[in-house]
Amino acid sequence: MPRAARIDIPNLLQHVIVRGIEKRDIFTSDDDRNDFVRRFSGLLHSTETECLAWALMSNHFHLLLRTTDIPLSKFMRRLLTGYAVTFNLRHNRSGHLFQNRYKSIVCEEEEYLLELVRYIHLNPLRAGLVSTLDDLDAYPWCGHSVLMRRNEMSGQSTAEVLLRFGTAIPSATANYRTFIQDGIKMGRRDELVGIGILKGNRALEQELQDSRILGAGDFVDQVLCHTRTAPPENKATLDQIIELVLKKLEISETELMSRAKGGRVALARSIICHAAYSSGYRGIDIARRLDITGSGVTIAARRGKEVIQNYPHLLTL
């Protein structure tokens, strides 16, 4: 399938990961880091964007943001463009500094906010930029030290995080640090970087292969309702896609809409779901048209992609 567009919906939590081009360092000195933090802090205020966690590494950085009226895409464009220009001037270089496409993951807040705060703030320790949690407490290029009241970063939403650990600042800070310490032994948390888990009322959990979303089934379904706009006028309509596949496989729409689970009917559903996704249709619209579940669309589309890769003659739109 084509690379999916980012999900940019106000008031949703977004885990943003930005990497240097060709894995090159994007922070080579404290001047670089100070410049980035200054720009970042200023943008948080001017755009009323909330930051719950952040960490600067060597060749990448992590941000945990909640946007309001200013889209994430605009916020990131201003941040990355401004920093890249001054970085190039400061280091007498030219050309791109960042990978062309930053990664942003929409996250279910109540389930994952604290886990993501911990994951992001432990990055410098996991990467060996600091040796101990005591060192991390004072590490100036990470939001953890701000929560520990060892450093300041104007614009970071410290109160929202600490209030989840208590109403009195000293005890909340201590509880937060214990929470961070407990996360050290967990190691890498690959499950936190972009695989949505479908739970809901389904008997079995299924992975939704959409690296843009981290959340349970209901949350994933709600987010996907806001994605994938209607296809351009020069693309096939959903009914045209269905008609073509049915003709190719020589089955009727009655058979397609039956409860049959195998053979050509299942094959047809798979190819239709893949083609419709590729044309820009929303999963919820495909599900309604075929009278199947949202998870069924996802699974079928994945199978359809494999079929078309091996037998491209089955679908020529």
For residue 47, the SS3 value is: helix
Q: Residue 207 and residue 128: Cα distance in Å, rounded?
A: 32
DSSP string, 239-296: HHHHHHHHHHHT--HHHHTS---SHHHHHHHHHHHHHHHHTT--HHHHHHHHT--HHH
Ramachandran sector of residue 218 (left: φ over 0; alpha: ψ -120 to 50; beta: rest): alpha
Q: Residue 132 and residue 127: Cα distance in Å, rounded?
A: 11
Q: Give percent of the chain with pLDDT exceeding 70.
A: 86
Per the confidence metrics, is the pTM higher than 0.85?
Answer: no
Average pLDDT over residues 218-226: 72
Name the residue among 243, 221, 235 with its Cα closest to residue 289: 243
Q: Residue 128 and residue 271: Cα distance in Å, rounded?
A: 47
CATH superfamily of 13-191: Transposase IS200-like (3.30.70.1290)
7 vs 23, residue with greater confidence? 23
Name the residue among 286, 13, 274 with its Cα closest to residue 160: 13
Beta bridge partners of 31: none
What the block records as the tokens of 211 is 């690296």
**Edge-to-edge strand order for the sheet containing 13-19?**
50-56, 60-66, 13-19, 103-107, 213-214
Query: What is the model's pLDDT at position 211?
Result: 67
Query: What is the model's pLDDT at position 179?
Result: 97
Query: What is the model's pLDDT at position 227?
Result: 60
Average pLDDT over residues 275-302: 81
Res 279 pLDDT > 90: no
Average pLDDT over residues 178-183: 96
The dihedral built from the CA positions of residue 77, 26, 183 and 38, taken in this order, carries a sign that is negative
Query: What is the model's pLDDT at position 196?
Result: 42
Query: What is the model's pLDDT at position 315?
Result: 53
- pLDDT tens per residue, range 107-164: 888 888 999 999 999 999 999 999 999 999 999 999 999 999 999 999 999 999 999 9
How far is CA 44 from its chain centroid? 20
Q: Residue 249 and residue 228: Cα distance in Å, rounded?
A: 27
* Domain layout of the chain by residue ranges: 13-191, 231-314
CB under 8 A, 24+ apart: contacts of 237-244? 238/276, 238/281, 238/285, 238/286, 238/289, 240/317, 241/272, 241/275, 241/276, 241/279, 241/317, 242/272, 242/289, 244/315, 244/316, 244/317
For residue 114, the SS3 value is: helix
Instruction: Band the pLDDT of 234: cuts 50, 70, 90.
Output: low
CB 204 within 8 A of CB 197: no
Query: What is the model's pLDDT at position 4?
Result: 63
Q: Give percent of the chain with pLDDT exceeding 90.
A: 47
Sequence-separated (6 or more) residues with CB below 8 Å from residue 178: none
Has domain 231-314 been given CATH number 1.10.3720.10? no
Res 262 pLDDT > 80: no
Question: Counting Cβ atoms within 10 Å, is residue 41 exposed (0-12), middle (13-18) or buried (19+)?
Answer: middle
Res 314 pLDDT > 80: no
Average pLDDT over residues 282-304: 82
Res 166 pLDDT > 80: yes
Sequence-separated (6 or more) residues with CB below 8 Å from residue 317: 235, 236, 240, 241, 244, 275, 279
- pLDDT tens per residue, range 27-79: 999 999 999 999 999 999 999 999 999 999 999 999 999 988 889 999 999 99
Res 230 pLDDT > 50: no
| Neighbour tally for 46: CB within 10 Å | 12
Sequence-separated (6 or more) residues with CB below 8 Å from residue 284: 221, 224, 225, 294
Beta bridge partners of 13: 66, 107
Average pLDDT over residues 203-216: 56
Side chain identity, residue 149:
R
Query: What is the model's pLDDT at position 215?
Result: 73
